[in-house]
């Protein structure tokens, strides 16, 4: 799963990760010599003890096509339907409210290849009844003559408009700027290392209008470093990663990931994966201890009309999480490929490392299933 301190739930964030700021990863240095169309379907569901929460169903379509020997065109659309119950504060079932939303999103990206360099531009749009986002990006890469070293620099901007159906706010705005620098190095015939540094500057509305007493700063800055190591074994491919994240909300997070791609007879492949995530709580998150006069969801010492920053959003708490995944793929003749992936996610405060987790929160579980079919020609 993605980092759970996103405005959306983990399933939503995962589906739109590639659409939010397209092109923020270094493009391949060689123009593909084939076109490809792929169709996918995603199902996501999360729950807590005694409460089924969010479910997501999402079909998608993506197309990639080289043009005139120098250009690569890419584009995709996704439509997802969300339904279920989401707690309004901490994990109290009595505070849950029902939701039923639909969202459509799409992106387009064009890349120009210049031998040892690339330059790409992209745009994306996401639209739902209470949230609208536009994003634009530019990305460039340069590699050495032997292509063993590749440098990348990317810039993305997004503009969001928030108008919740409860009318708590109307036409609130959020502007985000993201810059990423990357270095990829081939160190041997079997090993490739890559390092990414990303800085994000956000200004505007970050509160959750559907949660009681949720008042967050109107500025959020973050920095992250992602380190990746790909190693080729005799028959398998080992991919590992580590990511450190910090932001001005006070969250510090670590992510460790590993997966092993193993080929099977008849052009099958099997890829199990394991990911561990841990984070500290935001500075303004408060534990499920409530004011003795007013009770839930009011924090201790609450004063009506207070403008102090506060939130009971479980995604801002301190916790640890483990994701187990398995991907099965099959290559057929004439350019056809089929793959299936399943993931199981569990989040518990007691699983946090580098500090103690936030007390008094229920366990959180999620499952994600994906099916994809692609055709190359």
96 confidence band (pLDDT: 50, 70, 90): low
What confidence category does residue 28 fall into, taking pLDDT thresholds of 50, 70 and 90? low
Q: How confident is the model at residue 30 (pLDDT cuts 50, 70, 90)?
A: confident
Mean pLDDT of 7-35: 51
- Token pair, residue 245, equals 């994240």
Domain-embedded: residue 4: no
Taking CA atoms, 187 is separated from 149, 153, 234, in Å, by 9, 21, 17
* pLDDT reading at 23 higher than 50: no
Mean pLDDT, range 264-283, rounded to an integer:
97
State the pLDDT at residue 352: 97
pLDDT band at 99 (very low <50, low <70, confident <90, very high): confident
Residue 8: per-residue pLDDT: 41
Whether 114 contacts 143, CB under 8 Å:
no
d(CA 268, CA 332): 9
Q: Write the pLDDT tens digit of every residue in 216-247.
A: 999 999 999 999 999 999 999 999 999 999 99
Residue 304: which residues within 8 A CB-CB, separation 6 or more? none
CATH of the domain at 145: 2.40.160.40
Is position 1 within any domain? no
What does the pLDDT read at residue 93? 64
Indicate whether 2 belongs to any domain: no
Return the pLDDT at 2.
Answer: 38
Q: What's the pLDDT tens digit per position in 169-187?
A: 999 999 999 999 999 999 9
- Flag whether 259 is in a domain: yes
* pLDDT interval class at 14 (50, 70, 90): very low
- Determine the Cα–Cα distance for residues 233 and 261; give it in Å rounded to an integer: 10
**pLDDT, position 212:** 84
Q: What is the CA radius of gyration of the chain?
A: 22
Q: Looking at the 3D structure of the chain, how many domains does it have?
A: 1
Question: pLDDT tier at 48 (50, 70, 90 boundaries)?
Answer: confident
Bigger pLDDT: 126 vs 19 = 126
Q: Which domain holds residue 349?
A: 10-376
Per-residue pLDDT of 213-224, as tens digits, reads 899 999 999 999
Token look-up 């639209």 returns 127
20: burial class by Cβ within 10 Å (0-12, 13-18, 19+)?
Answer: buried
Give the mean pLDDT of the chain: 90
In a domain, 305, yes or no: yes
116-123: long-range contacts, CB 8 A cutoff, minimum separation 24: 116/29, 116/142, 116/143, 116/144, 116/145, 116/147, 117/141, 117/142, 117/143, 118/27, 118/29, 120/23, 120/27, 121/23, 122/22, 122/23, 123/22
Q: How far apart are CA 10 and CA 204, in angstroms?
A: 22
């Amino acid at each position: 799963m993605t980092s759970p301190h996103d405005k959306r739930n983990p399933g939503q964030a995962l589906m739109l990760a590639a659409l939010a700021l397209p092109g923020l990863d270094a493009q391949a240095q060689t123009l593909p010599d084939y076109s490809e169309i792929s169709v996918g379907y995603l199902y996501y569901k999360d729950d807590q003890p005694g409460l089924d929460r969010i479910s997501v169903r999402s079909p998608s379509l993506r197309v990639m096509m080289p043009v005139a020997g120098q250009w690569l065109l890419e584009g995709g659309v996704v439509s997802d339907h969300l339904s279920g119950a989401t707690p309004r504060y901490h994990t109290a079932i009595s505070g849950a409210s029902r939701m039923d939303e639909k969202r459509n999103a799409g992106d387009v990206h064009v890349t120009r290849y210049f031998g040892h360099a690339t330059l790409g531009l992209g745009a994306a749009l996401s639209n739902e009844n209470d949230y609208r986002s536009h994003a634009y990006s530019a990305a460039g890469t340069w590699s050495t003559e032997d292509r063993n070293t590749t440098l990348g620099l990317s810039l993305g901007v997004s503009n969001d408009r928030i108008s919740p159906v409860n009318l708590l706010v109307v036409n609130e705005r959020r502007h985000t700027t993201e810059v990423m620098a990357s270095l990829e190095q081939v160190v041997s015939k079997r090993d490739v290392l890559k390092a990414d540094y990303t800085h994000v500057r956000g200004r505007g509305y970050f509160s959750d209008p559907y949660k009681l007493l949720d008042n967050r700063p109107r500025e959020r800055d973050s920095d992250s470093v992602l380190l990746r190591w790909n190693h080729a074994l005799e028959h398998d491919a080992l991919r590992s990663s580590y990511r450190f994240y910090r932001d001005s909300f006070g969250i510090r997070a670590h992510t460790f990931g590993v997966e092993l791609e193993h080929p099977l007879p008849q052009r099958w492949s099997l890829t199990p994966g394991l990911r561990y995530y841990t984070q500290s709580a935001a500075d303004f998150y408060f534990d499920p201890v409530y004011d003795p006069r007013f009770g839930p969801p009011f924090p201790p010492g609450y004063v009506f009309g207070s403008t102090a920053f506060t939130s009971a959003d479980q995604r801002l708490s301190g916790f640890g999480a483990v994701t187990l995944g398995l991907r099965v793929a099959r290559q057929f003749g004439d350019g056809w490929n089929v793959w299936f992936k399943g993931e199981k996610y569990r989040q518990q405060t007691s699983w946090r490392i580098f500090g103690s987790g936030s007390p008094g929160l229920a366990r959180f579980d999620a499952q994600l299933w994906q099916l994809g079919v692609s055709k190359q020609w």
